[in-house]
Amino acid sequence: MPDTVEDMLPDLNSRIFLPGLQREFVWNPSQIEMLFDSLMRDYPIGVLIKWNVRRAREDYYAYEFIQNYIADSGRVPQALKDEGYIRNNDRADDAEADALIIDGQQRLNSLFIGLFGSIVSYTGGTGNTRDEAQFWDEKELCVNLLAHPEHDGDEFAGDFEFEFRRTDKLSDNDQFGYERSQGVHKFWYPIPNLIAEDGMVRRQQDSRNHAQEHVDSASIEIDASTRETFRQATLLVVDSLYRNVLNAELSTTEVKHETEDIKEIFQRINIQGSEPRPYQLMLSRLMSTWPYVSDNAFNPRDKVEQWSEQFKHDYPEYETEIDRDMFMRYSYYLIDGDLAGKSSVNDLSESDLEQMRRKWIGSPDGVTTADFEWFTTGLRRAFETLTGIGFSNRTMDSVPYVTLLAKFFYENPAADEHDPDLRNDVFKFFSLALLLNESHGLLRRTKARNMIPVLAENRGEYDSFPALDLFSTLNVSPASEDIERVVNNASYNPNAPGTVTFTSGNVAAVLGLIDDVYEQEDISDYDVDHIFPASRDDEVAEAVGEDVDIHRIGNLQLLDSVVNRRQKGTKMPKKWMDDVLGSAQVDHYREVNCYPDVSLEPENYQEFVEQREQLLIEELKTRYVT
């Protein structure tokens, strides 16, 4: 007899689990809503494949399905984790599994969340902190009890409606119950209400009564006849939920193969499919091999989850870029390859996997560390360098380039990430990449793979970052119109969160390539300064006689942070130069920052920034257009 949703779901996390080689849960709330909608319409949702492990050798890892899901990729308050909300599937300790799901996890876990659980997501926007639960919402999947295809009146939705809606657990009120939207009556009912306190599905009549009681008790200004219409409408939806969702038959295939066969079956299912991303397939391959080796076996999935959480906490500027994809790409770079699609995963040989495993555990010759320490050290040095020079994911959001830098640090222990020359070389490299991104899409198209052979050929021989050597492998340069476009679009973002120096990739590209400013200093010691202070834009506008854009690139320069904060501050540029700087310093600042021959009075602001932007364009063309 086929399994129904009602039969199978109570067995999740008690008899039915997930194998460690399964990829993580990745469906978003809209996909979960669509799954329930498909079931309500009696649409097929695919076949589940169960691995019968009752007689299998116990050389597998079992993971639990997620009930309360963190539908967000950034940092999560510890208070929510303590409440049991999770992003990735937890290990099932001492699980007595009858079966593991090797295909169908996304669908089955979505049903589990919709019927038994909830999601949480960050709602605070850019002005608040992710670390406080008050800026998060918990939501449960709801159905509109007044929406059904049999309705043909103007005041009822004539189709099924599902939507995740806020509970009152993390906020002052929920979004359940009655609302009228664009003249249409709606009554949002949490689907987990179909489940009794003992975790079993309520009797259908009990759910009918429960739903009608909610409609009866709702404060709605309607007459008795309309309320009775509402009561009858709810029965259509509740009965459809039982008939088409809870009693839906799940097409299930059971396999009883040995563990080695299951690994191959899983690989073929996933590689032939279209949904899994390369990093997910790669992690599955690691899970099918590394936990079972006799020499220093470990669980790569657990390692990646621990590292990911720790790195998000330690480097919040890059939290949205820190994920499994980053760790898998970095791993591939360390064996001088590139995670460039499903074929790249399928082509990994057993010797490749073993070489990669040694990179995780060990370190280069002459370096003594604890197991796994050097692997994460390379990434840490990369992030510390990027954040040290003032970059965040909003400036440069490309995982391949972060991991390319991490590969450099992994393989070159003598390189000092705090060395000013090295930081300046890294800054110039990324400034060039940001400039070329406008014309060649370098950050988007994973051109880092072209640079891997350069690092591989000179492994262990660098003491500074080979910015120009790496860039020469691309054999490209910006066109004049690209430079003009970058300069014209470069602007400081005063509303960017955090304390990073560069709030715009275009600003970093332009100022970073006028390297006479910082070439003898440490770029980490520089601020992006408004030549005419941003805090005095009203004075500038009044002097000019019209509104001004105080944040455009023509009004921005790199300035030593000590000079900026202790000397210049909010002084107008002419007063700062006249009162603080000597004539030689004035000449220097004007030359290296491409100042035009315009008096630095507020009334000359527009003339100054327009002429300076033209000088910046000419300087960048002279240096970089070939």
Whether 318 and 438 map to the same domain: the answer is yes
Instruction: Give 524-573 pLDDT, tens digit per residue.
Output: 899 999 999 999 999 999 999 999 999 999 999 999 999 999 999 999 99
**Is residue 260 one of the residues assigned to a domain?**
no
376: pLDDT strictly greater than 60: yes
C-alpha span between 32 and 341 (Å, rounded): 26
* 294 or 36, which is more confident: 36
What's the pTM?
A: 0.78
Kindly report, residue by residue over 145-157, the tens digit of the pLDDT.
Answer: 999 998 877 788 8
Tally of domains in the chain = 3
Same domain, 107 and 33: yes
Same domain, 502 and 547: yes
The verdict on residue 268 lying in a domain is: no
Average pLDDT of span 270-298: 77
Residue-level pLDDT at 237: 95
Q: Let me know whether 40 and 78 are in one domain.
A: yes
Are 207 and 106 found together in one domain? yes
| The pairing of beta strand 249-250 with beta strand 3-4 | antiparallel
Statement to judge: residues 374 and 517 lie in one domain: no
506-521 pLDDT, tens digit per residue, is 898 898 888 888 877 8
In Å, what is the CA distance from 550 to each residue of 11, 387, 529, 555, 605?
62, 25, 11, 7, 9
Rg (CA), the chain: 30
Token pair for 522: 């440490």
d(CA 379, CA 310): 12
Query: Could you tell me which of 543, 542, 563, 554 has the C-alpha nearest to residue 609?
Result: 554
- Among 476, 508, 536, give the residue marking a domain's end: 476
User: Does a structural domain hold residue 267?
Assistant: no
In this predicted structure, what is the pLDDT of residue 274?
A: 47
The pLDDT mean for the chain works out to: 87
In a domain, 271, yes or no: no
CA dihedral 437, 441, 447, 448 (to 10 degrees): 40
Give the per-residue pLDDT at 440: 60
> Please, which pLDDT band fits residue 445 given cuts at 50, 70 and 90?
very low
Q: What is the domain range of residue 511?
A: 485-624
Alpha helix (H) ranges present in 299-419? Answer: 300-314, 324-333, 342-346, 350-361, 373-388, 399-411
Asked if 43 and 158 sit in the same domain, the reply is: yes
pLDDT band at residue 320 under the 50/70/90 scheme: confident
CA distance 33 to 15: 26
Mean pLDDT lowest for which of 174-183, 516-525, 608-617? Answer: 516-525
Residue 269 lies in a domain: no
* pLDDT, tens digit, 9 for 90 and up, residues 77-107: 889 999 999 988 888 876 678 888 888 889 9
**In terms of pLDDT, which residue wins out, 296 or 441?**
296
Give whole-number Cα distances, 492 to 42, 71, 511, 553, 606, in Å: 53, 31, 12, 7, 17
In a domain, 491, yes or no: yes
Note whether 320 and 458 are same-domain residues. Answer: yes
Specify whether 313 is located in the same domain as 385: yes
Given a cut of 60, whether residue 615 has pLDDT beyond it is yes
Distance (Å, rounded) from C-alpha 270 to C-alpha 251?
18
Among residues 418, 453, 476, the one where a domain terminates is 476
- Domain assignment of residue 270, yes or no: no
Boundary of a domain, candidates 202, 217, 252: 252
Q: Both 289 and 430 in a single domain?
A: yes
Query: Which residues, 6 or more positions from 13, have their beta carbon under 8 angstroms from its beta carbon?
Result: 64, 65, 67, 92
